[in-house]
Amino acid sequence: MVSLDIGDDSIVTLRFLPPYRDEDERAYLDALAEIGRQERPFALLTVFGGGRGLSQAGEREQALWFKATRAQVGRLCRACAIVRPDASEKTAETFRKLWPFPIIADRNEAVGRAFLLRQLAATS
């Protein structure tokens, strides 16, 4: 299941969780496109269930999205929290190479959301 929520608190939440369905990859890539179209500052909370990867074509499309939206997302996104079962500092380090904003990776969504709220408060 994939969902995208753009909250009044400026947190954009992308979830990619079980139960997985055939259309999830397309929904995930469409959600990335929507994130790339944001026009106001936001913080990004990604919540992944683990155990499901993208197809080779999906990985390519995701990589092209990162490249195409790097400047826009880098300018507007204030912080990112990556929540997934195997989250580690290494996870965060990988994404810090892609983006200029503060990033954490954690296994707990509440920790990620609290981090984002602190970052938003510090930049407003």
Q: Which fold has domain 2-123?
A: Protein-Tyrosine Phosphatase; Chain A (3.90.190)
- Paired with 48 in beta bridges are 16
Tokens 């984002």 found at: 116
- Paired with 46 in beta bridges are 14, 82
Distance from C-alpha of 30 to C-alpha of 101, rounded to nearest angstrom: 23
- Give 1's DSSP letter: -
Q: Is the pTM of this model over 0.85?
A: yes
Residue spans of the domains in the chain: they are: 2-123
Show pLDDT as tens, one digit a residue, over the chain (124 residues).
999 999 999 999 999 999 999 899 999 999 999 999 999 999 999 999 987 789 999 999 999 999 999 999 999 999 999 999 999 999 999 999 989 999 999 999 999 999 999 999 998 7
Tokens representing 45 are 């909370």
